[in-house]
Structure 1
Amino acid sequence: MPVRIKATEDLIPITDLRQNSARIMRRLHTERRPFVILQRGRSAAILENVQEYEKRLERLELLETVVRGLEAARKGQVLDNAQVMRRLRKIAVG
């Protein structure tokens, strides 16, 4: 499930990031929540744990695949079970 940013805890001024980068990186890895980096009081960037970022990309790719499949189904571009099995056999045989 996606993690929501907590406005009271997850907003970090860029000067704090510069001065306390080690502490912020520890929080990033233990809490596994993204942080919003503020520059001049406005959101400028998101700082996120690499593993969480990769999971987010995987979920996005899966959702995009589902959307493409639904679009294909809507257009009638579907295969029945027998057609799928024939294609799989061709792939398996080579």
Structure 2
Amino acid sequence: MQPINLKEDVQSLSEFRSGVSSYIRQVTETKRPLLITQHGKGVAILTDVEEFKNLKRRLELLEDLYKAETQINEGRGISHKDARAMVMKSIKD
């Protein structure tokens, strides 16, 4: 995901309401998220759908890696040799 450009990618809620389609176009073209503020505080982020999907996939991968690392640290992992044998057996069956 592209970083937010503080000069271009921060809009108040009232400004956002008045130009929704132009902000959607901006987010789609730049691939940068738009920070929407209310009373000077960030309240929402508008992002491109593909960028959101990529971010979600990356988060899911990190969660899977964390889960796997925890399982290994708890002694619940299996060796590469055993994993390979299991895969080869399932292919033959």
TM-score, normalised by the number of residues in structure 2: 0.87
Q: Within 5 A, what are the aligned runs for 1:45-60?
A: 45-60=44-59
Deviation sequence 1:39-66 (CA, Å, 0-9, x none):
1221111111110000000000111111
Counterpart position of 1:73: 72
Measured on the aligned residues, the alpha-carbon RMSD in Å equals 1.5
Question: What are structure 1's unaligned runs of at least 5 residues?
Answer: none
Question: What are structure 2's unaligned runs of at least 5 residues?
Answer: none
Match for 2:11: what amino acid?
I
Q: For residues 7 and 80 of structure 2, what CA distance do their matches in structure 1 show? A: 52
Runs of 4+ in 1 over 4 A off after TM superposition: none
Counterpart position of 1:62: 61
1:10 aligns with 2:9: yes
State the number of aligned residues.
93
Match for 1:60: what amino acid?
L
Work out the percentage of aligned pairs sharing the same amino acid: 25
TM-score, normalised by the number of residues in structure 1: 0.86
Counterpart position of 1:33: 32
Match for 2:28: what amino acid?
H
